[in-house]
Amino acid sequence: MDKVGETTLHIDLNALEHNYMFLKSKLKGDTKFLAVVKAFAYGSDMVVIAQKLESLEVDYLAVAYVKEGVLLREAGIKLPILVLHPQPTNFGELIDHSLEPSLYSPKILTLFLEVAADKKLKEYPVHIKFNTGLNRLGFWENDVDYILKHLQERNELKILSVFSHLAASEDSKEKEFSNVQINIFKKICEDISQKLGSVPFRHMLNTSGIINYPEAQFEMVRSGIGLYGYGNDAQIDAELKPVATLKTIISQMHKIEPHESVGYNRAYKSDRYRITATLPLGHADGIGRQYGNGKAHVYINGKKAPIIGNVCMDMIMVDVTEIDCKEGDEVIVFGENYSAEDFAASANTISYEILTAISSRVKRVVTQ
């Protein structure tokens, strides 16, 4: 990986392939794989990631919103794309770009049916989302008859899959709750299959579910964070490779005398003679204020440099008193040897948040 001259997010497609093959190895031979590329592929580059996944022959992609799916279609992605949280105002655009909606409530179902009828669609593929305990989106178990009543006498839509989402698949203390969810989902699917007269394919497992509940693979699984190198478990993390590495450089160094302050609101005051380095990234780049005041650190020439004072919009300051370094030297914020999970944990948050927060103004460099 080349040395950087500015704040840069390196995206390693070889790591993506490694993670996909690792997760794929946990599946039965006929289990389909849905790759989640929402939120700009967890803060990396959605188009580049989707193109790589398409070359790896994943079965499905998933995005959160319609405009994400449109971006992929306009980039030439041909794979089927599930939109997990479509909004009625975008239904026409969704259909025009051959995207497949998750229908998760009576309102969404009836409104999509209206648009489908206006466009004279026939057997357009849809996915029915059920709430089995996450209590975020989804029909209830007792909504099956309502759904089928609206669909069986019409031909605009075809139920391609039925799915749900585990609430705590990474937490061994919640195994009983997860198994309750799985059993509820099985009953829902049996009910739908009997009354529909056909069998939609089923999917429920996320990354942690793939690892911890192999018996519930059904016909397809979904993975997001695992593809990007994080498995919500130290043992699994050791098997995966972070796709994204965030690097920057030292812009300027200062010699600070005892009792001098650094940054806004004088949040840091030196206890002795110290040397600080200013780095060109801040909360506008995704490094929030919660990482300041000694909570998180970066690596410079292999050594830890704690963030001092308040994080600024475009800059952070770090203590380099004990580090042999100079202006222009490279800085690792997170990556293979100091993961985004480690960095996020310093501020009591998770890898998902820091990864998806990285601003679009940060330069992306792809390696493969």
Spatial CA neighbour of 165 closest among 191, 134, 141 = 134
Q: How far apart are the first and last CA of the chain?
A: 11
Q: Which of 20, 38, 230, 291 is catalytic?
A: 38
E strand segments, the chain: 8-12, 32-36, 60-63, 81-83, 100-103, 124-129, 157-163, 201-203, 220-223, 244-249, 252-256, 261-262, 268-269, 274-279, 297-300, 303-308, 316-319, 330-334, 363-367
Tokens 């501020």 — which residue?
347
Spatial CA neighbour of 43 closest among 245, 261, 342, 270 = 245
Cβ neighbourhood burial of 326 (10 Å; 0-12, 13-18, 19+): exposed
CA-CA distance, 192 to 177, in Å (whole number)? 23
Residue type, 36: V
CA-CA distance, 93 to 98, in Å (whole number)? 9
CA-CA distance, 160 to 201, in Å (whole number)? 7
Q: Which of 65, 119, 264, 295 is catalytic?
A: 264
Is-catalytic flag, 264?
A: yes
Residue type, 353: E
In the numeric block, which tokens belong to residue 213? Answer: 């509940």
| Vertex 244: Cα angle to 243 and 248 (nearest 5) | 155
Residue type, 312: C
Is-catalytic flag, 247?
A: no
Task: List active site positions.
Answer: 38, 264
